[in-house]
Structure 1
């Protein structure tokens, strides 16, 4: 069946066969090794750590009945081939940013990050207390997956540039690495957008194959060494205000596990989600100070550029909402974001503003 046609016509949340008509599941017996493929270079700060942490926790909680063999991007399949490898049964699970797979479904972007979208706190509110988890599972099941949030980078940076960005026109012809819907927004501004695996980005920037790149944030960017190539660094950005990472498990493999083992995977993913966000938040401030000490100049995009980001984002969303599944999740996602933001603005954000004013 054509995957795109199925995505457009399938009704999520439709009635399933009654559970009472199904035979009792047969669980696989004995010790098992499950292969996790990832989009990350081995040792990539934060992102590979999250994959390794989830694998380690599952192995420990199961007393070794499930051993998770974590593969870096390229060790078994290419970084951007992990989704298809797991849906095809060539690997058991993947760890990645789901927005790398927009060709499979643009709706997957919501489980990583979308322009002018959710912060990490808002994302967690939606996923754990709203409809986010349910929608993630439903999209995953279209492709034979059981999907979980399994990491969050927090707010990502605007990127590294060879020249300052003073106006929207400065993006014309700029060869820039940015995946996801954010890349499509920059394309509207005339950029030549590249979707390059993280492990290949340093060389692409050093060789001049690209003029600039976003990656994650100060700590991961410092580890990647981009400051050795350029000293122009934009921090606050529009495209990934709280980027989630996903663990996608082949649905047949997941269903073959005992309920206890399934709960171990879900629990490991949830723990990793919080652990990974804390890892980034704990390391970013000191890393930014070190970058500045090394001569990196930190810039903010001017308001005219922010306005152009916003106008281009609205144009992209209008086009993408032609996809029925994307539109459905878009409406739920932004309704949840507005509800969370309204309370946070009156509580936590108001408090931190006063704390900073009073305490300095």
Structure 2
């Protein structure tokens, strides 16, 4: 071998060895070190058949996985698969599952203050609820409250204003409500009990058989799309509106506090952003699918009815009587209510100027067609 070729080969080989040795001495990129593989289980309160409300958790999980290149995976389980549908909060609090997807007013039996994270009767619509949560001071107050249950909460869906429910017979007056066994969730049950209604809290998957058998006289769930899927029109002909107890209910992601705090900071941010997207996506989908579902229900014989002014005003009065009672006896309720109520009143004052008038005019124009 010629000396020049030998030296050339030796130089390249030596350089390669040096480069290889140097590369081995460098640490792995920081991003790789902070991308641990994590697998969580999420317990939902909803059946898989309700693809929009159940599906919001799947949307969130999909975005988390894609944003972390599959390193952070959240597997979604339907209501009853891991824990009973109405015990999701308990399972997250105890660490039985890392995460849940539920509606906080299911847990008002523990403390009525839970209702603020979802919906309070005659409260905020969906836009106003998001305004309060994200910009109006609601999230810090709720985070402090949920901390007492070892849970971090994040908005992860909104249905928009709901329907008032399915009734086996017409209800025109407050007297017609007396003794009515009504499946209704959250704080609204305590409100309408002041009107003589007997509230029943039943998970979504169990409503139809109860209504069919006459165990209950009426039931509310969400709106046309989900209600059609659950078949309520087959056993109750009268469909009332509006669901004054759910003007804009948030569906929450519940996260075990220790599990959340153990995540890398950028995983925490990704999870929050994925929940935010699911929050928007759920309502957008409901606004699309409810329109066609309502047409189908009416076409198949469903009779749409508004709650009478008498029932609405009596319910409004009963709701605010309850709120004052709670403020006098429950410090946690009082702390949030004293901030929430003036925010709601200001929102209504503003919306009366533009939003409500615009909606009323458009409704009037539509009615002329």
1:337 correspondence with 2:344: yes
- 1:101 is displaced (CA, Å) by 0.9
Partner of 1:18: none
1:105 correspondence with 2:136: no
Q: Deviations over 1:205-256 (max 9, x none)?
A: 1111111100001111111110111211102132111111000110100011
Partner of 1:6: none
In 2, the alpha carbon distance for the partners of 1:114 and 1:353 equals 24
1:164 correspondence with 2:170: yes
CA contact (8 A) 2:157 2:251 kept: yes
Q: Label 1:227 to 1:356 Cα distance change in 2 as closer, same or farther (>3 A).
A: closer
- TM-score by structure 2 length? 0.87
Partner of 2:357: 350
1:234 correspondence with 2:240: yes
In 2, the alpha carbon distance for the partners of 1:245 and 1:118 equals 14
In 2, the alpha carbon distance for the partners of 1:356 and 1:36 equals 41
Partner of 2:144: 138
* Between 99-108 and 261-270, the greater mean CA deviation after superposition: 99-108
Q: Deviations over 1:22-71 (max 9, x none)?
A: xxxxx997311101011111231421011221122212211111110111
Partner of 1:246: 252
Q: Secondary structure at the match of 2:187?
A: helix
Q: Gaps (5+ residues) in structure 2?
A: 1-32
Q: Gaps (5+ residues) in structure 1?
A: 1-26
CA contact (8 A) 2:181 2:197 kept: yes
CA contact (8 A) 1:36 1:94 kept: yes
Determine which of 221, 225, 228 is the counterpart of 2:231: 225
Compute the RMSD of aligned alpha carbons: 1.6
Partner of 1:48: 54
Partner of 1:5: none
1:119 correspondence with 2:125: yes
Partner of 2:38: 32
CA contact (8 A) 2:35 2:71 kept: no
Mapping of residues 1-360 of structure 1, within 5 Å: 30-321=36-327, 322-356=329-363
- 1:82 is displaced (CA, Å) by 1.0
Partner of 2:15: none
Q: Label 1:177 to 1:253 Cα distance change in 2 as closer, same or farther (>3 A).
A: same
In 2, the alpha carbon distance for the partners of 1:93 and 1:172 equals 40
Partner of 2:5: none
User: How many pairs align?
Assistant: 334
In 2, the alpha carbon distance for the partners of 1:247 and 1:32 equals 18
- 1:349 is displaced (CA, Å) by 2.5
Q: Secondary structure at the match of 2:281?
A: helix
Partner of 1:15: none
In 2, the alpha carbon distance for the partners of 1:30 and 1:219 equals 39
CA contact (8 A) 1:98 1:111 kept: yes
Name which one, 1 or 2, has greater alpha-carbon Rg: 2
- TM-score by structure 1 length? 0.89
- 1:357 is displaced (CA, Å) by 5.2
